[in-house]
Chains A and B, each alone.
Chain A
Amino acid sequence: DTEVTQTPKHLVMGMTNKKSLKCEQHMGHRAMYWYKQKAKKPPELMFVYSYEKLSINESVPSRFSPECPNSSLLNLHLHALQPEDSALYLCASSQDPEGLAGYNEQFFGPGTRLTVL
């Protein structure tokens, strides 16, 4: 299994809703990432988990709350979002959190397209 899966594919939510995005990989990767991508813009890193521990938070607002329940799963909990948070949310994983193994390229999931009304 060489893919990263994300659910749901599409999500529409109101500003008072609470929802979660889910990401899963079964490649034995020990680093997992959340990115936000707006239309015609590059992906922007939000969070990095290394060995199930949060290692990088790129000053993301607290209305986004990541969680890594185990080495295969990554969640992003959403609460009180704003319309400007509408974007494609990409999850990625890579083999080696210390960057010692080969390219350590990131494998991306297909993303969740989020619309906040």
Chain B
Amino acid sequence: GQNIDQPTEMTATEGAIVQINCTYQTSGFNGLFWYQQHAGEAPTFLSYNVLDGLEEKGRFSSFLSRSKGYSYLLLKELQMKDSASYLCAVRPSTDSWGKLQFGAGTQVVVTP
């Protein structure tokens, strides 16, 4: 079956760094996405990894290890507006390009 795990909640202070881990066990792998979802709003795309390694985009970086079924999203210089749910989503295979398997999301709380 499909299984994607991420922590339920993380708290950090403004200006700090937070790392959100995601582990997955899926039938096939064709890319991993990170989305940010503020309460009551649409999920918005943050990053995409399909090859092993680190992708950096400003304050956000995402890492993938396919052999370990592991990814993390790193948020640096945290700002209050970063308080949101962060969703890890795996595209299981090339045969199901339209399917994304989502984790339950990690609620990040940024405190002053």
Contact = CB atoms under 8 A, between A and B. Distances in A.
A4 B31 contact: no
Contact of A97 (B30, B45, B97, B102): B97
B105 A103 contact: no
A54 B104 CA distance: 26
Contacts, number: 60
Interface residues of A, number: 27
Interface in A93-109: 94, 97-99, 103-109
What interface size band does chain B fall in?
20 to 34
A98 B94 CA distance: 9
Contacts of B87: 42-43
Contacts of B100: 43, 45, 106
Contacts of B35: 108
A86 interface: no
A81 interface: no
Interface of A: 4, 31, 33, 40-45, 48, 50, 55-56, 90, 94, 97-99, 103-111
